[in-house]
Chains A and B, each alone.
Chain A
Amino acid sequence: EADIYQTPRYLVIGTGKKITLECSQTMGHDKMYWYQQDPGMELHLIHYSYGVNSTEKGDLSSESTVSRIRTEHFPLTLESARPSHTSQYLCASSPKDRENSPLHFGNGTRLTVT
C-alpha cells in the first residue's frame, strides 16, 4: 500500500509538449527525490528537496525542473518533451530527522515521448 502517489502511471506524448509528473506523499516527510530509471542501468538521482522552497539538482543532468511549494507535493516538469526523455521516473521520500532512513518509493511514471 503506497503512501506516496505518482500520476499518471503511464504517459505517451508527442515531442515538444509540456508535461508535469505529479508526486504526493501523505507521510509528512521533509525529503523528496526524483530518480530516472532505464533498463539495466542504475537509478539516477535527478532532483531532490529537503523541505519547502528547497530544491537541488541531482547527479544526473536533467532538463526537467521541480518545485516544492507544499511539503506533500513535489511535481516534475518538462517544458518541451523530447524522445530522449523517454524513461521511467520514480519519486521517493524520507523523513528529515532520521539520518539514513530508507526511501519510500511511488509506483513510478513511465513516460514515452514520440
Chain B
Amino acid sequence: AQSVTQLGSHVSVSEGALVLLRCNYSSSVPPYLFWYVQYPNQGLQLLLKYTTGATLVKGINGFEAEFKKSETSFHLTKPSAHMSDAAEYFCAVTAPEYGNKLVFGAGTILRVKS
C-alpha cells in the first residue's frame, strides 16, 4: 500500500476561495507528518509539521492542517487563496516502519484563478 496518498494531482480554486489539499497516510503507529511547498524552479520549503500534541497545526502563509488519527488524514487548508499560493504541495510522513526516513506523496499542483 502506498505510504502517502494525495488525492488530486491538480486542484484549481478562485482567488479568495477555500483551499483544501487532501493527504492520507498509512502507518501502524502515529507518524510525524509534514507539508512542503515547491514554487517553480525552487526546492521544497516546509509549510508546517505535526509531531505530537495539538492536532491542529498552523504553518506559514496562513496554511494549517489537522491530524485525524481515526481517518489517517492530514489535510491542508487555507481559508482564502491568494495568487501567490500557486505552487506544488507535497505531503510527507516519517515513522519507524519507514526507517524514520521521510516518504513523500506525489504532490498536488494548486492553481489559483483570478
- State the A residues within 8 Å of B (CB): 2, 4, 6, 9, 35, 40-43, 45, 48, 58-59, 90, 92, 99-100, 102-103, 105-108
Contact = CB atoms under 8 A, between A and B. Distances in A.
B45 A40 contact: no
B102 to A, nearest CB: 6
Given A2-B43, A42-B103, 6 more contacts: A6-B43, A40-B9, A42-B107, A92-B43, A100-B100, A105-B36
A40 B106 contact: yes
B44 to A, nearest CB: 4
Contacts of A48: 101
B12 interface: no
A59 B34 CA distance: 19
Nearest to A6: B43
For the complex, would chain A's binding face be called helix, strand, loop or mixed by DSSP majority? Answer: loop
Nearest to A99: B100
B106 A107 contact: no
A103 B102 contact: yes
A4 B94 CA distance: 22
B41 interface: yes
B4 interface: yes
Interface in B22-55: 32, 34, 36, 41-46, 49, 51
A64 to B, nearest CB: 18
B43 A90 contact: yes
Contacts of B46: 102-103
B32 A100 contact: yes
B35 to A, nearest CB: 10
A45 B98 CA distance: 12
A35 B4 CA distance: 16
A106 B100 contact: no
What 4 A-B pairs are tightest by C-beta distance, nearest first?
A105-B43, A43-B104, A102-B46, A105-B44
